[in-house]
Amino acid sequence: MYRASVETMASTCGAVILAGDPSRQVSGFVVDSRLVTPGSVFVCFLGETQDGNDYALPAMDSGAACVVMTREPSEAERAKAAEKDCCLIRAAHDDAGAFLLGLAEHYRLQQDWAVLGVTGSVGKTTTKDLLAQALATTYCVHKNVGNFNSVIGVPLTILSAPDDTQVFVCEMGMNHPGEIDAIARCARPQMACITNIGTSHIGILGSRENIALAKSEVIPWLAADASLPCCVDLEPVLALTSGDDFTASIGEAAKAAGVLVDRVGFHPDDRICASQVSLTPEGCPAFDVAFCGDRVHQELKLTGRQCVIDDLLALDLAQRAGLTLTQAASGLDSLEPQAMRAHIIQAARGFRIIDDTYNASPSSLAVAADLLCELSCEGRRIAVIGEVGELGGEAPRLHGLMGAYLAAKPIDMLVLVGDKDADAMAEAASTMGLSEDKLVRVPTAAAAASIVGPVLEAGDLVLAKGSRFVGLDAFVEEVRS
């Protein structure tokens, strides 16, 4: 974990000390004043609706040793700093993001970690968790938690790494071009994988081609620091899925940068190959994995066929990090699904809910619909589907495709939640022949709960899926209770 004096921290990032004792020691960084603990550093970010600088006073009351501000402190803030023996510093160029990224990069370059990056449109978190689980059989592993995969979350994760860390598994998310580059510069991965190139954030990036370019920003950093100390003997490697239609172009870019390219999938020529894939009655994948003559059988506790590819990517990077196939696979069968990520809930009234409400994209929605129809079900199959965000000008077309896909599934009731984009799904579903008595349109998650909840019966299977802003997690909590 990062520990230093305020003076050392400020000089590293070009920040200016405004008040307090420069020799004050600090450790622990937060961007939410409610998470401040004695001795920690509160970094003030300007958000869409909140200004972190406005929370400097409560942060000092909670024991912050230092507050990193992006404006001139008020007299009240200076007085509070003196009262609480808290340092105030001002970030260079009033850029809190650059302060945090720069400090984390400086700290990372002092470590001999093996860093393995995970990015892609869908499946990042599952792949990250699988990879960390596999590597933990041999190494002391640190990883992102929650949604700490952004240009803010990754540096916070680096600065909080335990002192015995050997391997950092770094999930790398992005909404805009340049963000993967900034994260990779900070984390300096020696190996990485790209799960797939989908349509998440296409409304911001404009096309899947631009999404592929943004994800590929990790490539130059894989071979950038051959002299950087590392406790594990690693070559620069990028693992890709053979079935993705951008694998060829991304692979060529990686090879041109001096990075080895591994392909995993379901083809016998893939470096790590899965076969004989089936689902248990609980929806968990069981399959065989082959690598260089070795073969293992896996049965995951995770839900859905899509987890197989995530598993193969994790196995590939774990093997490249020195584990045998058997070692890597041995730790994966016990990984439990996370809440709101294809998590199957057994309700007291006898029906089941596939809670996949953490977020959504067109491709992940299709996967969730497949799971709904593949699981055993004694009653009705019901899909409660919310709109998908950040699709921009592609939203009407992609929502129409999602509606058409859902209409082709053997679903007994389709409940579409939202506004105009939900209308686009409903129109496409009707056009594709879904009967009116199976289609329900509601504006909110609460309305969906009021309609669906009372009619659910023992044996029914319900899928809840949509972007977070739709709030279908509240639907799940309402109907399960």
216 is in an annotated binding site: no
- Taking the C-alpha atoms of residue 377 and residue 371, their distance in angstroms, rounded to an integer, is 11
Residues of 273-302 as b/e, b for ≥16 C-beta within 10 angstroms? bbeeeebeeebbbebebbbeeeebebebeb
pLDDT of residue 443: 98
- Taking the C-alpha atoms of residue 238 and residue 268, their distance in angstroms, rounded to an integer, is 19
pLDDT of residue 148: 95
pLDDT of residue 349: 94
pLDDT of residue 186: 97
Question: Nearest Cα to 8, choosing from 27, 29, 18, 22?
Answer: 22
User: Do 139 and 148 contact (CB within 8 A), yes or no?
Assistant: no
80 is in an annotated binding site: no
- Taking the C-alpha atoms of residue 104 and residue 200, their distance in angstroms, rounded to an integer, is 27
- In the chain, % helix, strand, coil (3-state, to 5) comes to 40, 20, 40
What is the CA 221 to chain-centroid distance, rounded?
A: 20
| Full strand arrangement of the beta sheet holding 381-386 | 343-346, 352-356, 461-465, 381-386, 413-417, 439-442
Domain limits, the chain: 3-94, 111-334, 343-480
Determine the residue type at 397.
R
123 is in an annotated binding site: yes
Which helix (H) or strand (E) segment holds residue 41: the answer is strand 41-43
What are the helix (H) ranges across 191-320? 202-205, 208-215, 219-222, 247-256, 307-320
- Taking the C-alpha atoms of residue 346 and residue 343, their distance in angstroms, rounded to an integer, is 10
Count helices and strands in the chain by DSSP H and E runs: 18, 22
- Taking the C-alpha atoms of residue 338 and residue 329, their distance in angstroms, rounded to an integer, is 19
DSSP string, 450-478: HHHGGG--TT-EEEEE--GGG-HHHHHHH
- Taking the C-alpha atoms of residue 417 and residue 480, their distance in angstroms, rounded to an integer, is 18
Three-class secondary structure assignment of 162-177: CCCCCEEEEECCCCCC
Helix 179-187, helix 96-108: angle, nearest 10? 40
What are the helix (H) ranges across 160-256? 179-187, 202-205, 208-215, 219-222, 247-256
137 is in an annotated binding site: no
Domain 111-334 sits in CATH at 3.40.1190.10
pLDDT in 10s for each residue of the chain, 481 residues: 999 999 999 999 999 999 999 999 999 999 999 999 999 999 999 988 899 999 999 999 999 999 999 999 999 999 999 999 999 999 999 999 999 999 999 999 999 999 999 999 999 999 999 999 999 999 999 999 988 999 999 999 999 999 999 999 999 999 999 999 999 999 999 999 999 999 888 888 999 999 999 999 999 999 987 778 888 889 999 999 999 999 999 999 999 999 999 999 999 999 999 999 999 988 999 999 999 999 999 999 999 999 999 999 999 999 999 999 999 999 898 899 889 999 999 999 999 999 999 999 999 999 999 999 999 999 999 999 999 999 999 999 999 999 999 999 999 999 999 999 999 999 999 999 999 999 999 999 999 999 999 999 999 999 999 999 999 999 999 999 8
Sign of CA dihedral 131, 132, 137, 138: positive
**In sequence order, what are the beta bridge partners of 288?**
275, 297
User: Do 270 and 264 contact (CB within 8 A), yes or no?
Assistant: yes
Sign of CA dihedral 16, 20, 24, 30: negative
pLDDT of residue 226: 77
pLDDT of residue 346: 95
- Taking the C-alpha atoms of residue 402 and residue 298, their distance in angstroms, rounded to an integer, is 32
User: Do 313 and 264 contact (CB within 8 A), yes or no?
Assistant: yes
Determine the residue type at 275.
S
CATH T-level topology, domain 3-94: 3.40.1390
121 is in an annotated binding site: yes
DSSP letter assigned to residue 335: P
CATH T-level topology, domain 343-480: Protein-Tyrosine Phosphatase; Chain A (3.90.190)
User: Do 36 and 64 contact (CB within 8 A), yes or no?
Assistant: yes
218 is in an annotated binding site: no
Sign of CA dihedral 469, 473, 479, 481: negative
124 is in an annotated binding site: yes
